[in-house]
Amino acid sequence: MILPSIKNINVKGKRVILRVDFNVPVEKGKVEDDFRIKRTLPTIKFLKKKGARIILISHVTDGRTKSLKPMAQYLKVKFLPDKKIDLIKKKIDKIKNGEVVLLENIRNYPGEEKNDKKFTKKLAQCGDIYINDAFSVSHREHASVVGITKYLPSYAGLLFEEELKNLSSAFKPKHPFLLILGGIKFKTKLGVLEKFLKTADQIFIGGALANNFFKAQGVNIDNSVFDPEVNIKKYLRNPKIILPIDLKTKNGTILDAGAGTINNLAKIIKESKFVLWNGPLGDFEKKGFEKGTQKLAKLIANSNTQSIIGGGDTVAAVRKFGIPLGKFSFVSTAGGALLEFLAKGTLPGIEALEKRG
């Protein structure tokens, strides 16, 4: 899949609308986790060097802030909090070559999530070129992801291209291929399980996802989290699917995988040539129940296998444990978009750029 790339265009003096994903945790008005911001810096620096006039657009849904002001302060760029697009346009027209500005939370505008045509046209008038560097939001059919591509020459950013290239490798993996799925939301991961049943050599189901299997097998899971709307009966006898063989519980609630499970995974990871991991094995934020996820992360990081990890909780756990992200072959910035892309092989944001290519 080849998308129109910013590497092949002249952006000098052009107003470039750059869709990024700065939806990151904020604590006391300061950026708490800069992983996603840092991953976009190569695209921003590339455009600055080429003399573009850069207009950053993002959203934020963190419960502690509805503003992108902390992100602007982190980047040390001009912040445009104006509520009217017409006022924003007047200020954008005055920015110089190589200058960067950040608009306020794009989801503050009702037309964004509705992909409203009138709003999208106004937004497009703020730029000459559109670049999507927010792969992690590209499963959303929003104005700043899909709609805007109808009105401006549109391209993929450097991070977007990197995400697409690396995640696509899962469709033609080296073997043995181990897929690890954990976390809580089974509905979002069922498509990935279905997609890789044929190509993966083994699929480990952990975290709260495994509780659905245990319950279907007649095991008493007591107060443990599970998804009653997901039917997994057809997967119960599949020889590729592996479940935890021991668990850590508290007051009847399953909260982590046990040592035996990790030892079992250690052997499989050692023999694997490709590992794809999404979702923690337990409630890693609770003391005493982070060991399963921590040990799994270290096993993958210290292995010689090609490894791809992704998902907000997964990356947050790895960073919490102090494991360098560089020890994995690729760390995706995406969560929902990662799962949808792996399940379907495309995203609305990808298709929008393909049509413009």
> Would you state the pLDDT for residue 294?
97
Contact 166, 308 (CB under 8 A): yes
**pLDDT, tens digit, 9 for 90 and up, residues 18-57:** 999 999 999 999 999 999 999 999 999 999 999 999 999 9
Does the active-site annotation cover 312? Answer: yes
pLDDT (tens digit, 9 = 90+) per residue, 97-144? 999 999 999 999 999 999 999 999 999 999 999 999 999 999 999 999
- Which residues are within 8 A (CB) of 220 and not within 5 positions of it... i.e. 6 or more apart? none
Taking 80 as the threshold, does the pLDDT of residue 356 lie above it?
Answer: no
Catalytic residue chosen out of the listed positions 191, 336, 345, 356: 336
Asked if residue 63 has pLDDT above 80, the reply is: no
pLDDT tens string 234-248: 999 999 999 999 999
Residues forming beta bridges with residue 80, ordered by sequence position? 103
Mean pLDDT estimate for the chain: 95
Which of 14, 15, 19, 36 is catalytic? The answer is 36
237 is a catalytic site residue: no
pLDDT of 261 strictly over 70: yes
The reply to whether 310 belongs to the active site is no
pLDDT at 172: 96
159 alpha-carbon distance from chain centroid:
12
Q: Is the pLDDT of residue 153 over 90?
A: yes
Q: Where in the chain is the domain with CATH 3.40.50.1260?
A: 6-164+347-356, 173-323
Q: Which of 206, 292, 312, 335 is catalytic?
A: 312
CATH architecture for segment(s) 6-164+347-356: 3-Layer(aba) Sandwich (3.40)
Whether the CB-CB separation of 143 and 120 falls below 8 Å is answered with yes
Q: In this predicted structure, what is the pLDDT of residue 185?
A: 87
> What is the mean predicted confidence (pLDDT) over 308-319?
95
Cα separation, 301 vs 275, in Å, equals 10
Does the pLDDT at position 272 exceed 80? yes
Q: In this predicted structure, what is the pLDDT of residue 357? A: 60
**Is 147 among the residues known to form the active site?**
no
Instruction: Give the span between the Cα atoms of 162 and 7, in whole angstroms.
Output: 13
Task: For domain 173-323, give the CATH superfamily.
Answer: Phosphoglycerate kinase, N-terminal domain (3.40.50.1260)
pLDDT at residue 15 is higher than 70: yes
Which one is catalytic: 185, 215, 291, 356? 185
pLDDT of residue 14 exceeding 70: yes
pLDDT digits over 155-211, tens only? 999 999 999 999 999 999 999 999 999 999 899 999 999 999 999 999 999 999 999
